Amino acid sequence: MAGLSATLRELPKHSRPRRRAVEVIAMKRHFSALALLLSCIALPVGASGLAAELVDGQGQPLANAVLSLKGVGASAHNEPAIMDQRDKQFMPTVLAVRSGTAVKFPNSDNIRHHVYSFSPAKRFELRLYKGTPSEPVLFDKPGVVVLGCNIHDWMVGYIYVTDDPWFAVSDAQGRLVIDNLPAGDYQVSLWHPQLAEMLPQAAGSLQVPEKGLSQRFPLAVAGAAPTEPTSPKPDAFGEAFRKATREVQP
């Protein structure tokens, strides 16, 4: 099976699924339609890992879904992450980071934004600013952090903070890859902004063989995405999130 080049290393970053989409487009020039079809959710040649396709209740591609794995091994360190603001939107819409990660909030627009979160996992405020604030924001507790902008009410972004060592966010085609994943058994958690009360869902266990695994994950999401920042109920969220976290302990 034709594979994609092995460019995804270690802990997936938010930008990688997008980079991957660009690679897929580039590949169209080099492979037949059949080869492309086969390789769309294929793993890089020789790499073990998980290639996942996230779909909603109707089987349609589900973008901005987080898949995280708990089980074998752990990533070595937390790479700094970036939540950009571009064209009066948060980019990416969903950023997944490991607990203890520092996130930069550059403003790529030539107008000012005022970023805030009231979410229990991280309350903070970056008052009206342009450019990149000098200090990144540390996300040290697992949970969902809903971002808003005081100036532009429609700006909504999400930072999914997890203790799980392996995770990735699905791209516009609902696809994600977790590369260099040791073979073994994992517990799967899925999350999406449109899940009820924004709680992660336990999605069973997964046995990843040496040669890697491609799998489709359905996730029933309800209703439209929130149009303005709302935070989950602190108590209900905290308790349920802890419960979900416990349930996926190896």
Task: Give burial (CB, 10 Å; 0-12/13-18/19+) of 87.
Answer: exposed
Residue 196 binds Cu ion (CB under 5 A): no
Residue 116 binds Cu ion (CB under 5 A): no
42 vs 129, beta carbon nearer Cu ion: 129
Please report, as a single letter, which amino acid is at residue 101.
Answer: T
Residue 113 binds Cu ion (CB under 5 A): yes
Q: For residue 21, how many C-alpha atoms fall within 13 Å in the half-sphere facing its CB?
A: 13
Nearest approach in angstroms of CB 108 to Cu ion is 12
Residue 89 binds Cu ion (CB under 5 A): no
Q: Are 77 and 176 in contact (CB under 8 A)?
A: no
Nearest approach in angstroms of CB 135 to Cu ion is 19
Please report, as a single letter, which amino acid is at residue 30.
Answer: H
Residue 122 binds Cu ion (CB under 5 A): no
Total binding residues toward Cu ion, as defined by CB under 5 A: 4
**Residue matched to tokens 């302990």:** 249
Among 4, 51, 95, 149, binds Cu ion (CB under 5 A): 149
87 vs 235, beta carbon nearer Cu ion: 87
Residue 213 binds Cu ion (CB under 5 A): no
Instruction: Take residue 127 and report the two structure tokens written for it.
Output: 């008052």
Residue 169 binds Cu ion (CB under 5 A): no
Residue 151 binds Cu ion (CB under 5 A): yes
Residue 18 binds Cu ion (CB under 5 A): no
Q: Which residues contact 78 (CB under 8 A, 6 or more apart)?
A: 11, 97, 98, 100, 101, 102
Nearest approach in angstroms of CB 151 to Cu ion is 4
Options 10-18, 21-29, 67-75, 109-117: segment touching Cu ion (CB under 5 A):
109-117
Give the number of other Cβ atoms within 10 Å of residue 112's Cβ: 15
Among 152, 184, 194, 240, binds Cu ion (CB under 5 A): 152
Q: What sign does the dihedral 13-15-20-21 (CA atoms) show?
A: positive
Ramachandran angles phi, psi of 90, nearest 5°: -80, 140
Cα three-residue angle 65-69-71, rounded to 5 degrees = 175
Options 29-37, 107-115, 187-195, 206-214: segment touching Cu ion (CB under 5 A):
107-115
- Report how far residue 148's alpha carbon sits from residue 84's, in angstroms, rounded to the nearest whole number: 13
Options 60-68, 149-157, 174-182, 214-222: segment touching Cu ion (CB under 5 A):
149-157
Give the number of other Cβ atoms within 10 Å of residue 52's Cβ: 24
Residue 128 binds Cu ion (CB under 5 A): no
158 vs 241, beta carbon nearer Cu ion: 158
List contacts with Cu ion (CB under 5 A): 113, 149, 151-152
